[in-house]
Amino acid sequence: MPRETPDGLPVDAILEGDCVELMQGLPERSVDLVFADPPYNLQLAQDLHRPNNSRVDGVDDAWDRFADFAAYDDFTVAWLSAARRILKDDGTLWVIGSYHNIFRVGSRLQDLGFWILNDVVWRKTNPMPNFRGRHFTNAHETMIWCSKGREARYTFNYDAMKALNEDLQMRSDWLLPICSGGERLKVGGRKAHTTQKPEALLHRVILAASQPGQVILDPFFGSGTTGAVAKRLGRRYIGIERQPDYVKLATGRLGRVVPADPESLVVTPSKRNQPRVPFGQVVERGLLSPGVLLFDQRRRHAAKVRADGTLVVDGASGSIHQIGAHVQGAPACNGWTFWHFESDDGLKPIDLLRQQIRAETGGTAAL
């Protein structure tokens, strides 16, 4: 059964009908993230066959057909405008498409005031071959990630993405397989939905740009991949779908999803979002005393701590960052990781003292 938030937003629900009309009926600025997989307007003129003359089960659904580019552009502006109205000011929108439509969608996004943060290329490990041999194999799709404006504050779990990628910065080209095998929903032996997206793709999107408990809306819900991953990751979802068969399909799928336990949903916090702690607080709290020497990890450099939180070395004084850069002859330095203090267990980075203050203040150390 759908639930309602205090502002009347129906969550954990599939709304059946036209996405523009239904979004227009939702509260303004009520959704944290929109993921959209709109019709691609593939413009297929004839059936596609393999070399053995078997027919390819491609996208030939009526919902993917538009009279012309102008009609598709009008449709795009209508749903994007409705999505922008319900998106919170700090929310973001993701839209996925192919070369048939994504450039037209991107242009309309910018016309409506959205600010593009990234275009993310989904490289398919197992794309469908180009059977006619007249083009390159179409092995990727493009996602556009955008905020409501250039100055908007938005969620990006950078460190969680880095952790997901074996502690390497996550790139904007994602190598993931298409939806196949047991994950692919079928009815009567055929694909239940021609453009079902893999859950791995949505896992990365939702983990990157939202927090547990937030509301994620998909205006083209289809087989319900967005809702399935959102539910598993402890987010609330709203799906909008106009095809009754897809509503039934997604409803059954969502009923089989088991949410992860809350402890498993905690993501690596972004260092940028942690409260600022001036080095002076380390001194005034007595974690380091004036006159104590700090060293780099190899003990090549030493600097003395002063009562006001600055360091002094060979007549030069300044912040932990300035003096760290000075002794190295470098343009910049992260003093928190460069400087170390003596402990019973040897040299330790002063960043440990910053983390101690954050823990003691419950994340309210910024002044």
Give me the phi and psi of 11, to 5 degrees please: -115, 165
Least confident of 50-54, 128-132, 231-235: 50-54
Where b means 16+ CB within 10 Å and e means fewer, 85-118 reads: ebbbeebbbbbbbbebbbeebbebbeeeebeebe
Instruction: Write the CA distances from 352 to 226, 279, 355, integer angstroms.
Output: 39, 12, 5
Q: Which pair of tokens denotes residue 350?
A: 């002063």
CA-based nearest residue to 139, from 180, 98, 197, 170: 98
Query: 247 CB contacts (<8 Å, ≥6 apart)?
Result: 14, 16, 221, 241
Work out the number of other CB atoms within 10 angstroms of the CB of residue 348. Answer: 14
- Is residue 349 predicted with pLDDT exceeding 90? yes
User: Average pLDDT, stretch 46-58?
Assistant: 45
Q: Which residue has the higher pLDDT, 231 or 42?
A: 231
- Is residue 21 predicted with pLDDT exceeding 60? yes
Dmax (CA) for the chain in angstroms is 83
Q: What is the pLDDT of residue 363?
A: 53
Instruction: Give the model's confidence band at 131: pLDDT under 50 very low, under 70 low, under 90 confident, else very high.
Output: low
Q: Which pair of tokens denotes residue 229?
A: 């991953």
- Is residue 213 predicted with pLDDT exceeding 90? yes
Q: What is the pLDDT of residue 127?
A: 83
State how far the Cα of 364 lies from the Cα of 146, in Å rounded to an integer: 30
- β-strand pairing of 311-313 with 302-305: antiparallel
Q: What is the pLDDT of residue 51?
A: 47
Q: What is the pLDDT of residue 29?
A: 96
**Percent of the chain beyond pLDDT 70?**
90
Least confident of 52-66, 205-219, 304-318: 52-66
- Is residue 113 predicted with pLDDT exceeding 90? yes
Q: What is the pLDDT of residue 161?
A: 94
pLDDT in tens, 294-347: 999 999 999 999 999 999 999 899 999 999 999 999 999 999 999 999 999 899
Q: What is the pLDDT of residue 182?
A: 84
- Is residue 236 predicted with pLDDT exceeding 90? yes
User: Average pLDDT, stretch 86-90?
Assistant: 97
- β-strand pairing of 87-97 with 311-313: unpaired
Give the CA angle between residues 104, 107, 111 to the nearest 5°: 140
Q: What is the pLDDT of residue 48?
A: 43
Q: Which residue has the higher pLDDT, 124 or 367?
A: 124
Instruction: Write the CA distances from 302 to 257, 297, 325, 354, integer angstroms.
Output: 57, 10, 13, 20
User: Average pLDDT, stretch 143-169?
Assistant: 94
For the chain, give the mean pLDDT.
89
State the pTM of this model. 0.74
Q: What is the pLDDT of residue 192?
A: 84
Q: What is the pLDDT of residue 1?
A: 55
pLDDT in tens, 23-41: 999 999 999 999 999 998 8
User: Average pLDDT, stretch 52-74?
Assistant: 66
Least confident of 155-169, 206-220, 225-239: 155-169
User: Average pLDDT, stretch 278-285?
Assistant: 92
Q: What is the pLDDT of residue 43?
A: 58
User: Average pLDDT, stretch 177-182?
Assistant: 86
Asked if residues 217 and 31 have their Cβ atoms less than 8 Å apart, the reply is yes
Q: What is the pLDDT of residue 56?
A: 42
State how far the Cα of 241 lies from the Cα of 227, in Å rounded to an integer: 12
